[in-house]
Amino acid sequence: MNWILLFIAGLFEVMFATCLGKAKETTGSEAYLWYFGFFISLLISMLLLIKVTQSLPIGTSYAIWTGIGAVGTVLIGIFLFKEPVDFLRLFFLATLILSIVGLKFVSH
């Protein structure tokens, strides 16, 4: 169950990064709504991370949480914000994913 919560916490990290990107693209009350989404996503992500670290090692939890956030944010950047895609970027993204999976397998 803790691994599922850690994955969900990572998804909320992706959400708060996405909200920041969208807030940068908008103005006025729409930007404030994105900032509100950022705050709520950040709060949920941190609370889930705190809960998970009560049972899983902090180093492993944090590394996986940031890894999920990094991978998700890069993918959102590519698909939503039209950031460039090239071989090296995808190669290092794949190595990051493999590292996350590896940490899951070697953690007790």
Assign residue 51 a region: left if phi > 0, alpha if psi is -120 to 50, beta otherwise? alpha
Structure tokens belonging to residue 30: 């729409």
H-state helical runs in 1-108: 2-25, 28-52, 58-79, 87-106
Please write the tens of the pLDDT for every residue from 10-68: 999 999 999 999 999 999 999 999 999 999 999 999 999 999 999 999 999 999 999 99
- Per the structure, the count of domains in the chain is 1
Q: Which residue, among 98, 10, 88, has the nearest Cα to 49 in the 3D structure?
A: 10
For the chain, the C-alpha Rg in angstroms (whole number) is 15
pTM of the model: 0.89
Task: For residue 90, give its domain range.
Answer: 2-106
pLDDT tens digit string along 74-87? Answer: 999 999 999 999 99
